[in-house]
Amino acid sequence: MPPMLWLLLQLAAPVLGFYFSISCPSGNQCQQALLSGNDILLYCNSSGAHWYYLFTQGEKGTLTSLTNISNMEIMPEGSLLIKDPLPSQTGLYHCWNKNDRQVVQYEIDFQDVATLHVTHKGLGQRPLENETLHLGSKELIFTRWEPWQDCNHCEEPGERKRLGYCYVEEHLEEAMPCWLYLGDVQVWSSRLRPELQVEACHVHCTNNTQLKMNYVIFDSFRLDEETEFVWLSCPLGSIYR
């Protein structure tokens, strides 16, 4: 084993990962666009809860239990943890309590992070323009932007980012995330993808601005035995913040 890898393993310690938490009022149905490959937590405050899903892509049918899906875990308090979600796991997620009554329902669109369109305002790069999709009527494809995230430095030049998700809107209809809208419809357009925009920023430091650490820490790694490259994951990192 390479000496540097051995040293890193000696410094490693268990750390609770960062999970982007999505919540929905009890008894409601909530819709959310997210990115694939980034862990999320679907909140359900119901001890003894069980979850069912209905994926909108591929085979369709009745609601199916999530207990046998390897990247999903029901937490003790009832919430659903989805690790490294796939675009194919776009669909409906239902949380039921121990009395077999639905507590909450999520409509989740996991948009493919591998197709992310990245631009930097300081370089004069422009986000994707709106386009029209023809599926029997003129549907508008556009990006719905999230608020700007925090600057990554303080008291010195830094950068901040914001995420944008692909949405489709029909005339006089409410807009929907692209793949929740399309379902099994086979269509290709370079406009059907999420976005990330970056810009320069400069902010003053506060007590909550930065998390200071004196050493590197990680909770997982992958070693490529052929090339001897090591891939490290940042346990507190997330594209959502």
Per residue in 53-79, pLDDT (tens digit) is 998 765 555 678 887 889 999 998 999
pLDDT of res. 234: 67
Q: Which residues have a Cβ under 8 Å from the Cβ of 54 and sit 6 or more positions away?
A: 60, 61, 62, 63, 64, 91, 92, 94
| Mean confidence (pLDDT) of the chain | 83
User: Residue 219 above 70 pLDDT?
Assistant: no
Provide the whole-model pTM.
0.81
| pLDDT top residue among 161 and 187 | 161
Per residue in 164-173, pLDDT (tens digit) is 999 999 887 8
pLDDT of res. 79: 94
Per residue in 111-152, pLDDT (tens digit) is 999 999 999 999 999 999 999 988 877 899 999 999 999 998
Mean pLDDT across the stretch 89-116? 94
Contact at 8 Å (CB) between 105 and 63? no
pLDDT of res. 135: 81
Q: What is the rounded (10 degree) CA torsion for 53, 71, 36, 201?
A: 120
